[in-house]
Structure 1
Amino acid sequence: MTAPQQVDYLDVVRVWLEADGVPDIASAWLFDHLLPIAGTLDGPIFEGWTLLSALAAQTERLRIGLIVTSNRFRPPAMLAKIATTVDVVSGGRLDFGIGAGSRPSHPLARREYDAHGLPYSNADDAVASLAEACTVIRRLWTADAPFDFDGAHHRLTGAFGSPKPVQRPHPPIVIGGRATATLRVVAEHADVWNIPGGDIADAAGRSAMLDRYCADIGRDPAEIRRSIALPVSYERPTDTRAAITDALDAGFGHIVLMLPAPYPQGVAHWVADEIIGAAVR
């Protein structure tokens, strides 16, 4: 994962094109923020979906996505259209990441809503809006005829998506988050659940909670792949390898490695050799 902040466009392109040629790297990711949340607060940052479409057109093999889209930034019908476009441009390689949006306790994330004139609802409303958005987006990807939707947070009349995504019935839905209410949405809607990593014990506990929510609605928990995002240390790769081992042992089969900027030359090959290869041997 290359956070598109405090970097140049060509630096991101360089890393993605290199990673596209490294078989051990299965996917590449951006995040979804409008102002930097680390480093110089007035530094450069790129809009995630626009950048993702550009990278989709230049890569050939990698699965691609955002970990994860803020549902607060874009109306769900607009987001469905954007995601469909990226899936078509990529030839069917999109993993559709979505979440409720940044938590209110994160002031560096909160400021981007005010700076762009975007409303910032409370956590309960944000999660309820996310659940409706997942329903709307899936229907736009799969419905054969226009439909109306009258929800508490989203209302559409004559909604219809054409073209459809390349992937059928739709791109995999990756829902990110760790809050209890979000996990209930994950149980109902997600193909993949991603948690922003760090504390493996906490992540394992959240995973067990997700199992219980799946049981409550009669869904097999094994249908939801477990994903975790872990920071990469260029100086201490042994720490990163140890974190991967702990995550795999805890049942997280999908590992997203977050690369700090600036990106060294040959970083994708370095990750394959020093992190991935060494961790799985």
Structure 2
Amino acid sequence: MLLDTPVRLGVQIQPQHATYAQIRDAVTRLEDMGVDILFNWDHFFPLFGDPDGAHFEGWTMLAAWAEQTERVEFGALVNCNSYRNPDLQADMARTIDHISGGRFIFGTGSGWFERDYTEYGYEFGTAGSRLNDLADGLDRIVARWGKLNPAPTRHIPVMIGGKGEQKTLRLVARHADIWHSFVTPDELGHKVSVIEKWAETEERDVSGLIVSNELARRDESDADALFDAGVRLFTLGWAPGEPDFDAVAAWLRWRDGKNGA
């Protein structure tokens, strides 16, 4: 893993319980503050709070962010493979990549929130079947990126979330540039070793893999332990309806301290 890479801070703007004006304003302010990456998520209903509260769709929002922003990278934490044809996902990602001038991160996962499936008419299946679909989908997405005209502006970074050792971490070893999880510092070494073993099977070099983890409900001592364990991308779940810019500023100072700024 790239332990000498700079620490980056990503803020996940939760697309729920807020107006779009609040989300748009947050995007501008967070970019101006120096956040490295902005994320949303790919669901159709709120994940907590009022289950029928305000909520916005993720991919159309990302296209808007591509035009609105100038510096910050952005993507979903994470896209749900189940909702869209994989070749379409590849085309949408390539288009947003061009709109943004090469700042899009393709974060993806197999999906888990059953209400999204049942109310929108998708087959929920099982955790195993959804992971199998993700494996097939990622192969198709990468293949489609090689066929599109125009091609993506760059190698679009692939971010995969999850910690399952038999399927998810093998997909990380096969495709990911960034691996995201919520595992504890004590667990990280073992999980990385699993990725490295799968990388041998996949015949892929994962020495450049960026390890990502979440800061919500954690303090600086927790973040220090994650840093020592190899995490270099730190994400912060953040509510635009109740914006706490001071918390972001504090984590930016922590980031800058780690980077020697």
> Structure 1 pair 14/243, CA: closer, same or farther in 2 (3 Å)?
farther
Alpha-carbon RMSD across the aligned residues, in angstroms, is 1.8
Unaligned runs of 5+ in 2: 1-11
Secondary structure at the counterpart of residue 106 of structure 2: strand
Aligned to 2:132: 128
Match of 1:191 among 145, 155, 177: 177
Is the 2:77–2:108 Cα contact (8 Å) retained in structure 1? yes
What is the TM-score of this pair, normalised by structure 2? 0.87
Structure label with greater radius of gyration: 1
Q: Where does residue 193 of structure 2 map in the other structure?
A: 208
Selected match of 1:114 from 114, 118, 130: 118
Tell me if the contact between 2:211 and 2:233 (Cα under 8 Å) persists in the aligned partners.
yes
TM-score w.r.t. the length of structure 1 is 0.81
Number of residue pairs matched by the alignment = 245
Paired with 1:4 and 1:227, the residues of 2 have a C-alpha distance of 21
Q: Which residue of 2 aligns with 1:58?
A: 68
The equivalent of 1:6 in structure 2 is 17
Please give the per-residue CA displacement for 1:207-257, whole angstroms capped at 9, x wherever unaligned. 2321222233333331321111221x5xxxxx4322221211110111111
Q: CA deviation at 1:12?
A: 1.2
> What is the CA deviation profile of residues 132-176 of structure 1, one whole-angstrom value per residue up to 9, with x for unaligned ones?
211111111113xxxxxxxxxxxxxxxxx3332222xx3111111
Partners of 1:139 and 1:99 in 2: CA distance: 18
Distance 1:119 1:222, change over 3 A: same
Once residues 189 and 176 of structure 2 are traced to their aligned partners in structure 1, the CA distance between those partners, rounded to angstroms, is: 18
Aligned to 1:147: none
Question: Who is 1:155 aligned against?
Answer: none
> Does the 8 A contact of 1:241 with 1:276 survive in 2?
no
Using the alignment, how far apart are the partners of 2:127 and 2:228 within structure 1?
32
In 2, the alpha carbon distance for the partners of 1:98 and 1:188 equals 14
- Superposed displacement of residue 130, structure 1: 1.1
**CA separation in 1, counterparts of 2:249 and 2:17?**
26
Is the alpha carbon distance of 1:78 and 1:172 closer, same or farther for their aligned partners in structure 2, counting shifts above 3 Å?
same
Residue 264 of structure 1: CA displacement? 2.8
Q: Is residue 245 of structure 1 aligned with residue 224 of structure 2?
A: yes
User: In 2, Cα distance between the equivalents of 1:199 and 1:65?
Assistant: 24
Q: CA deviation at 1:42?
A: 0.4
Displaced runs of 4 or more, over 4 A: none
**Whole-angstrom distance in 1 between the partners of 2:24 and 2:99:** 16
Q: Which residue of 1 aligns with 2:9?
A: none
